């Protein structure tokens, strides 16, 4: 399978796009053609374990990696007790919905689902090509810790992770900043997540600097992560239909509610649906930084500046400029790179893209609906779910449940993608329930551990100088 840029040009095969991050023209890597899942093909996947399913789904995209090697990578990612649940992704019925448990990994967040595989795959590709990679990423909370825990200690990878000062929970900061591995560099930037993300984008579009320092990306612009996230949409549908009579399975559709920040998680659902997974609707849930909700309701995409990006109690979604939206717009515009490039040129010129002419297709063709959740909604939802079921959910998952309830339809199961364990947001849980989850010994040790982080202003030159001095070469 070959990959192309959303703004035109070919990029090579799967192993190539794992290492490159942004395309040279600023676009994102997408498959030249999307593979298909037939009804019979889905049935054949039913008996597989999660690592085996990952081999089959990712293998549709990673055609340049021998299947035996890929099976070893997926087993390395999801085996050896790395995930607390034996099934890796458990499904739990909660108050008329189903919670898809994506937070059983080492950092207690859904980002582990893709990042554990990406760590295995990067090491494999770098060894094959005798290369090193300096990963420069931005995080609003969970991506950074998942990336660092997947890549820590690797000889051929160094990680430079930018995070917004004061915009993450104490648990999130501790998971990142307590790492003492020499190949992990935490940089706390004065600003919001979008400032961090913009710095990363500017370095990636400077091709001379990028090549001189072997820069790569592991945030959700990396297609390796997108391909790994498609797996759990297929897994969840398979588990929801295990008890359905075989003749009805192929037509049994479910909906997914997805808390959304950078649009990578729900984009993977969009691809799963386009490939043939029986998904009725994808319900996009935002917090008060509801740029994406506005887009899917009006067709106008208006990213906000740093001053207008709110610090909320679901901080991993405090994003106003969603990088992965470009991949969806590419599909929306008929996979036309010239129209996509023109749309992003319009964004640069006017700070807005007007796609209202396509508005009717968002739901009818792509099955995407959306909604917004507030701090008050999060508190009420956490409290209500706990009272009804005894289950405690984190604030981001609460955003998903709140918006899911608004779009639930009779006869169509609603699955909510869990994003993190509530222990990562103890203060908010205490505000909602009057008591916070009791930290275990490991959590207490984590919060008390020494932290290693560099504070830096929103200054591109300072970042360049730091990377130049510390990058693998």
Check whether 439 has a pLDDT greater than 80.
Answer: no
Check whether 437 has a pLDDT greater than 80.
Answer: no
pLDDT of amino acid 443:
82
What is the pTM assigned to this prediction? 0.93
pLDDT in tens, 197-231: 899 989 988 989 999 999 988 878 899 999 999 99
Check whether 389 has a pLDDT greater than 80.
Answer: yes
Domain that holds residue 363: 91-106+233-433
| Exposed / middle / buried, residue 307 (Cβ in 10 Å: 0-12, 13-18, 19+) | exposed
Q: Any idea what the CATH number is for the domain that residue 385 is in?
A: 3.40.50.1100
Per the domain annotation, does 241 fall within a domain?
Answer: yes
Per the domain annotation, does 285 fall within a domain?
Answer: yes
Per the domain annotation, does 406 fall within a domain?
Answer: yes
Per the domain annotation, does 181 fall within a domain?
Answer: no
Per the domain annotation, does 48 fall within a domain?
Answer: no
Per the domain annotation, does 265 fall within a domain?
Answer: yes
pLDDT of amino acid 199:
94
Number of domains in the chain: 1
Check whether 280 has a pLDDT greater than 90.
Answer: yes
Per the domain annotation, does 367 fall within a domain?
Answer: yes
Check whether 473 has a pLDDT greater than 90.
Answer: no
Check whether 21 has a pLDDT greater than 90.
Answer: no
Q: Region 358-379: what's the mean pLDDT?
A: 98
Per the domain annotation, does 470 fall within a domain?
Answer: no
The set of catalytic residues is 111
Check whether 438 has a pLDDT greater than 80.
Answer: no
pLDDT band with cut points at 50, 70 and 90 for residue 441: confident
């Amino acid at each position: 399978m070959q990959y192309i840029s959303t703004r035109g040009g070919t990029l090579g095969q799967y192993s190539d796009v794992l290492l490159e991050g942004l395309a040279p023209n600023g676009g994102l890597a997408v498959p030249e053609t999307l593979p298909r899942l037939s009804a019979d093909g889905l049935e054949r996947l039913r008996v597989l374990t999660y690592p085996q399913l990952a081999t089959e789904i990712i293998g549709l995209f990673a055609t340049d990696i021998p299947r035996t090697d890929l099976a070893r990578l997926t087993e390395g990612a999801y085996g050896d007790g790395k995930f607390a649940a034996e099934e890796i992704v458990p499904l739990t019925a909660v108050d008329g919905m189903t919670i898809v448990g994506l937070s059983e990994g080492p950092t207690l967040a859904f980002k582990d689902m893709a990042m554990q595989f990406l760590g295995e795959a990067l090491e494999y590709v770098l060894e094959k090509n005798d290369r090193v990679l300096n990963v420069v990423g931005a995080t609003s909370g969970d991506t950074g810790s998942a990336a660092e825990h997947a890549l820590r200690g690797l000889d051929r990878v160094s990680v430079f992770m930018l995070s917004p000062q004061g915009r993450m929970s104490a648990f999130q900061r501790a998971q990142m900043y307590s790492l003492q591995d020499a190949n992990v560099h935490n940089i706390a930037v004065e600003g919001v997540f979008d400032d961090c993300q913009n710095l990363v984008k500017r370095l990636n579009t400077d091709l001379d600097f990028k090549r001189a320092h072997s820069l790569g990306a592991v945030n959700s612009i990396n297609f390796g992560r997108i391909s790994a996230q498609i797996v759990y949409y297929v897994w969840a549908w398979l588990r929801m239909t295990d008890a359905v009579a075989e003749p009805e399975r192929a037509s049994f559709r479910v909906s997914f509610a997805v808390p959304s920040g950078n649009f990578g998680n729900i984009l993977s659902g969009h691809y799963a649906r386009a490939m043939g997974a029986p998904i009725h609707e994808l319900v996009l849930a935002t917090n008060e930084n509801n740029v994406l909700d506005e887009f899917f309701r009006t067709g106008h995409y208006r990213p906000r500046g740093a001053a207008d990006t709110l610090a909320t109690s679901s901080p991993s979604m405090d994003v106003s400029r969603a990088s992965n939206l470009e991949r969806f717009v590419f599909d929306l515009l008929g996979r036309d790179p010239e129209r996509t490039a023109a749309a992003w040129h319009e964004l640069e010129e006017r700070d807005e893209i007007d796609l209202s002419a396509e508005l009717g297709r968002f739901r009818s063709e792509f099955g995407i609906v959306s909604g917004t959740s507030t701090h008050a909604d999060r508190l009420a939802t956490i409290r209500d779910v706990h009272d009804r079921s005894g289950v405690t959910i984190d604030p981001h998952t609460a955003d998903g449940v709140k918006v899911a309830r608004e779009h639930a339809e009779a006869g169509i199961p609603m699955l909510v993608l869990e994003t993190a364990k509530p222990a990562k947001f103890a203060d908010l849980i205490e505000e909602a329930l009057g008591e916070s989850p009791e930290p275990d010994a490991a959590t207490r040790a984590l919060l008390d551990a020494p932290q290693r982080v560099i504070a830096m202003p929103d200054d591109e030159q300072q970042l360049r100088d730091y990377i130049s001095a510390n990058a693998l070469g």
